[in-house]
Amino acid sequence: MKRPVVLIGFPVGHSLSERMQNAAFKHLGLDLYYYAAEIRPEELPEAIRGLSKLGFAGANVTIPYKEQVLPFLDHLDQSGYEAQAVNTVVCRDGKLWGYNTDGEGFIRSLAEEGIVPRGKVFCLIGAGGAARGVAQALVRQGAACIYFINRTPKRAFRLVEDISHDAEKAGSVLTTELKALPWCRESFEAALSRAQVLVNCSPVGMYPRVFDSPLPYPELLRPSLVVYDLVYNPYQTALLREAASRGCQTISGLGMLVYQGAAAFSLWTGMSAPVEIMWAAAKSSITGER
Ligand code: NAP
């Protein structure tokens, strides 16, 4: 009998992980299968706690549960601990281990586009689970500064505090300047006048609301800015279309999806992921031009 791996989120209709992971399992002839389950907030504790007993190899956790899942896990890997957000769960000897592969996926996809984070200034829109993984990875890579602008400002301030506190606890010197700013034009002006890379870490623009953009002031986009959208469905989001029309280099979240998935695949199986197969499966199920 095949062992299941489940994607837990709400909603999960937008996810491409199911096709991508099943293509990878099939390619290597593994006795695993992946499916997506829409879990309501009140069902989350039961769903997570049941994973080991019900024979799951592991799980992915997506919007909006990456932070909420932490109390139900037995162990946190360094990546999950640093981000205080988990997107991958591994069932090992009856215990649940939490990892965050979003940061690794993000950095690998940036590298593929020729972008080295060291010494660069980033502006992140959003301060949820994905922003946490991305921010911790950028700190590890030596980014010069990260601006956080979030609709609910206190969440961005808390994220900055958490990263600073973690560095202090680990006895390490934080070389990345971290700034949380309120959600207003002045903040976007200040951040985008310095930033080299703008990253949308919010779900705004995701299918089916494909005409929404998370940036209320598109006129602030300069041609020298790189614009990265974590949203991958559609491939060309409204933000990326706007940025491209203003001469910016644009990057879709599809690369991050593939590489965070490849890292999760390796955690569940102990094997290298067939990245080409995963890319092909993801691309073939995406909406919009590539
Ligand atoms: P999350 O934990 O629920 O956080 C969502 C963030 O977006 C919060 O900061 C929230 O602000 C903000 N937000 C939500 N709706 C907004 C709106 N209408 N206007 C402005 N801000 C809004 O979700 P997540 O796990 O971080 O995921 C965020 C997005 O990244 C999702 O679309 C997800 O699919 C995508 N993602 C992609 C990849 C990839 O591999 N490409 C990986 C991870 C995530 P508040 O604090 O004000 O609620």
Supply the DSSP symbol for 2: P
pLDDT tens column, 137-163:
999 999 999 999 999 999 999 999 999
Residue 205 contacts residue 212 (beta carbons within 8 Å): yes
Polymer length in residues for the chain:
290
The residue type found at 128 is: G
What 3-state DSSP class applies to 150?
A: coil
pLDDT band at 14 (very low <50, low <70, confident <90, very high): low
**Strand 32-38 and strand 121-125: pairing?**
unpaired
pLDDT band at 169 (very low <50, low <70, confident <90, very high): confident
What 3-state DSSP class applies to 50?
A: helix
Q: What span, in angstroms and rounded, lies between the C-alpha atoms of 78 and 87?
A: 13
The residue type found at 175 is: T
CA angle in degrees (0–180, nearest 5) for 14-250-219:
105
Q: What span, in angstroms and rounded, lies between the C-alpha atoms of 5 and 48?
A: 12
Residue 126 contacts residue 215 (beta carbons within 8 Å): no
Ligand 1 is surrounded, with C-beta below 6 A, by 63-64, 66, 102, 105, 126-131, 150-152, 155, 201-204, 206, 214, 230-232, 253, 256-257, 260
Average of pLDDT values for 222-226?
98
Which of 151, 210, 260, 287 most suits a substitution to test ligand 1, by most atoms within 8 Å of the C-beta?
151
- Residue 132 pLDDT exceeds 70: yes
Q: What span, in angstroms and rounded, lies between the C-alpha atoms of 27 and 43?
A: 33
Global pTM? 0.94
What tokens does 128 get? 């949820």
Active-site positions?
66
Name the closest-CA residue to atom 40, ligand 1. Answer: 257
